[in-house]
Structure 1
């Protein structure tokens, strides 16, 4: 007990300041929180700067991706307008064709000929007419550098080939590119009809004639009896022993074979595979092929139906 009293007396006599002593563990914990808070603030600031750079770049690339769609939209609109202008010029080309032949015109039709076009009935004049039409119908400030230098009007006597080269201006320059080059084309045959003599000659060359599958002559008439010269009529009861040129048996025709009677007759061909109950069966007619005369002229004409 004496020892306890001495120790208590020493503690009473010892002076203690009013400063609160914070344990070391608590100090370490608060220091870590302060450092963590400071570090979080710096990270948050760096993310904000990155977003400020990424967002404009994202919008820029999205705008670039939209440029092809804008150009395609303008291209479709220009193509539609050029087709309309080409149709109009192809109708009026008949007037130019008649004037080039030195023939007069009594009437240009119920709609009449526009005064604007009547003064420009030349190739250059018609191209100027088309250019003016396109500039009016395009109606867009994005279209520039329009050119019809590669176009032609009736150079071969009948074709109107309109080739429009132009550029579509983009909202802002992309890698030094301020506009996109594009081309629209409309090719039509002028409404000038066709010469009678030329049509007659072409008609003779393209006339259809008929040949058999194994024939050596062409025929003017599909019903020429030489085309059916190979058609053989036999009794139905002989089909069992009948063979074609390939050694195969005859099968019933899908169209008329079911109507064959046992006591009747059927029709076969040496190179055929089917028998028919009707001489005029459409399958037999299909055996004959229609071809242009120019392809089989070397075979020679049938002496019976080509007289």
Structure 2
């Protein structure tokens, strides 16, 4: 029974309400840090995956380039690096990685901090191993770097027996393409390193190549004669093509010994240049 002017207080409901508020506060204090940590882990994994992909590509490309010159000996003019040794692998690999990654806008690493000291050339295999410490892009977690190793390998171009030509008679390497009757002494010959441009058919008919010769319809992809729309030309070619994948624009280059090209003649551009 309540008298006038008196207030009845329900302590049971008030206590229950306070307990519920306290429970929500405790849950928030646990869930929010866990959620934040999960987001940090996801961001770090994605950034690390991107970094490893870019680094793997750069290392593999550098290993392939070194493998192309593994047959050379010291002071060989055909090789920009001389004989391929461990020191050359380290220096060339480091230079290549820094060039490839300098514009990649990496967050967790600095390309200048990468070490390739474990790179080597042995058993006809070029191995470039990069070691670096990855730091989480979130400032608070940058104090806990993780050591990462990425390996890029390529087999040396030394033939079946894996011997450098320096101990015997030098065997010149030349380059051939499928379905062609000529060989090239330079890998950079414009016959095999094509610079393809997309232009209109009218523009192609009015242009001339670098030798002053007009462009004619390709006999393979322009069988009907002149075509309308976009066509493809090269600065050194004499035809325009309706298809970017035309055989006239495709080159599959193979490095072979010159002694294997006895039935072929030398490319006129390589011979003249």
TMscore range, shorter length: 0.3 to 0.5
Bigger Rg, which one = 1
The TM-score with structure 2 as length reference comes to: 0.45
Structure (1/2) with the larger helix percentage: 1
The TM-score with structure 1 as length reference comes to: 0.41
